[in-house]
């Protein structure tokens, strides 16, 4: 895992920029902005994903696979935390003495041109960031942005606007969010995660408190999440707006109806109320919307207009995204990879599926997360009627002896509903065999599980 190094000066002229791991959700957005600034962009990634294809269409030269010869002759190299220090392109860049920037350092540099709204939290960041971006555009503010997922309305995860605001999804996993010059901090929740990096829950929450207190103008933070409540008590900031269903929330959510393909609710702020309906499902998205509205009213936008602007958000890719239907079985994909996210996504799916069965194909992400939260994952996945559990997507970690997807499967209370299938090629047939007309299959995880969707559709057809 590559640690962020913010001591590396940003070159006055980035020149030709090479991104190692260019297809990632954060890296691809920054690469898009770099292309928009007129720089030549090259890069490499393990797979030829939709992000890679979109960047190629914009003019980037991208290699599939990592090899020293892919580096070429760039002026600047950008890396992500997910890389191994032994990456051949990174080693050659170091040998050549090239400026090597962590993606967070380059993002901080790009974002410094505007008033930064940084969205942080263990989950809910991508949707909340998308809501703030969509609403600011609807309100005429035309922000620049880098999000962790493609916003459906814009078909992009990043873009330059002409307005004063720059909105980003801020990564807490390696503490890089402390290095942004943040004006507005939005904290969706402080559910424990990345404890392999932070060491303890207290340290994890302490970093969020530092992030919030460093915000120049405003902190918007959940009133409901226990971790966020503890962080709020630590804050010394002069302007804190809370949001959620709690009776004392500044932007309060009431009367949530989430029993269909969308969610409707009432928002109350300073004695005024407004009823809105989102185009996406899930009780959790009512809370995400309240957080976005808290940011907007904190910046001085009208409450009712802000709420209606947020309601126009149409979703992001890999968040309960429908990919097709075969034999009356709909196949969705979702990015959820933390127990709380999994529970929220499955609760939303349950409201949509109606009388059908909910079949979850789950790919755990990271050995440490699986080991720490094995019981919580099993409990969250129990919201499904049937579960197919894969092995772990390792990402930036070395394997841990004895830590596999079986840890979650073995914790599952009703073994008749759990199917541990470590062999990738066997999964589509197993999942398809569990499904009948009217059922949902949802692939879930932040690794490469989305690549299984075509195989699932083929298996259902067969």
Residues 6+ apart with CB under 8 A from 315: 127, 130, 151, 152, 279, 280, 321
- The set of long-range contacts for 266-271, using a CB threshold of 8 Å and a minimum separation of 24, is 267/293, 267/303, 267/307, 269/293, 269/297, 269/303, 270/303
The C-alpha atoms of residue 350 and residue 325 are separated, in whole angstroms, by 17
The residue from 89, 169, 172, 397 that is catalytic is 169
The residue from 126, 129, 134, 340 that is catalytic is 126
Per the annotation, the verdict on 126 as an active-site residue is yes
Residues 6+ apart with CB under 8 A from 160: 33, 36, 37, 144
Instruction: Let me know: does 33 contact 158? Beta carbons within 8 Å.
Output: yes
Per the annotation, the verdict on 125 as an active-site residue is yes
The C-alpha atoms of residue 368 and residue 195 are separated, in whole angstroms, by 8
| Nearest in space to 134 (alpha carbons), one of 143, 125, 122 | 143
The residue from 125, 188, 242, 376 that is catalytic is 125
User: For residues 331-361, b (16+ Cβ closer than 10 Å) or e, as one string?
Assistant: bbbbbbbbbbbbbbbbbbbbbbbeebbbbbb
Residues with catalytic annotation?
125-126, 169
């Amino acid at each position: 895992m590559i640690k962020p190094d913010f001591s590396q000066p940003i070159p006055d002229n980035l020149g030709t920029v090479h991104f190692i791991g260019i297809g990632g959700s954060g890296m691809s957005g920054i690469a898009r902005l770099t292309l928009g600034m007129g720089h030549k962009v090259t890069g490499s990634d393990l797979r030829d994903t939709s992000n890679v294809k979109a960047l190629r269409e914009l003019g980037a030269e991208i290699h599939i696979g990592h090899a020293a010869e892919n580096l070429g002759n760039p002026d600047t190299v950008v890396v992500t935390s997910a890389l191994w220090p032994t990456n051949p392109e990174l080693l050659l860049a170091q040998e050549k003495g090239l400026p090597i920037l962590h993606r967070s350092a380059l993002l901080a540099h790009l974002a410094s041109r505007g008033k930064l709204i940084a969205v942080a939290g263990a989950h809910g960041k991508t949707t909340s960031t998308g809501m703030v971006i969509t609403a600011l555009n609807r309100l005429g503010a035309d922000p620049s942005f880098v999000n962790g997922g493609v916003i459906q309305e814009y078909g992009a995860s990043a873009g330059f606007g002409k307005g004063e605001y720059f909105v980003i999804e801020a990564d807490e996993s390696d503490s890089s969010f402390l290095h942004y010059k943040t004006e507005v901090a939005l904290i969706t929740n402080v559910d424990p995660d990345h404890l392999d990096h932070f060491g303890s829950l207290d340290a994890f929450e302490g970093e969020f408190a530092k992030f919030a207190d460093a915000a120049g103008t405003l902190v918007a933070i959940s009133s409901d999440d226990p971790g966020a409540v503890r962080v709020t008590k630590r804050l010394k900031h002069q302007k804190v707006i809370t949001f959620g269903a709690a009776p004392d929330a500044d932007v309060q959510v009431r009367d949530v109806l989430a029993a269909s393909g969308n969610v409707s609710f009432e928002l109350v702020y300073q004695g005024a109320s407004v009823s809105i309906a989102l185009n996406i499902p899930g009780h959790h998205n009512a809370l995400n919307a309240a957080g976005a509205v808290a940011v907007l009213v904190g910046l001085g936008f009208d409450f009712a207009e802000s709420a209606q602007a947020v309601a126009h958000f149409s979703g992001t890719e890999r968040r309960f995204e429908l990919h097709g239907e075969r034999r009356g079985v709909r196949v969705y994909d979702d990015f959820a990879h933390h127990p709380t996210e999994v529970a929220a996504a499955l609760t939303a799916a349950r409201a949509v599926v109606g009388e059908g069965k909910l079949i979850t194909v789950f790919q755990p992400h990271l050995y440490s997360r699986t080991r720490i939260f094995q019981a919580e994952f099993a409990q969250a996945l129990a919201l499904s009627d049937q579960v197919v559990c894969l092995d772990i997507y390792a990402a930036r970690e070395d394997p841990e002896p004895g830590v596999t997807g079986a840890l979650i499967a073995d914790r599952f209370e009703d073994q008749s509903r759990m199917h541990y299938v470590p062999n990738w090629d066997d999964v589509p047939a197993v999942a398809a065999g569990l499904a009948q007309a009217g059922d949902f299959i949802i692939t879930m995880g932040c690794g490469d599980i989305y690549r299984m969707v075509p195989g699932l559709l083929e298996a259902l057809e067969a």
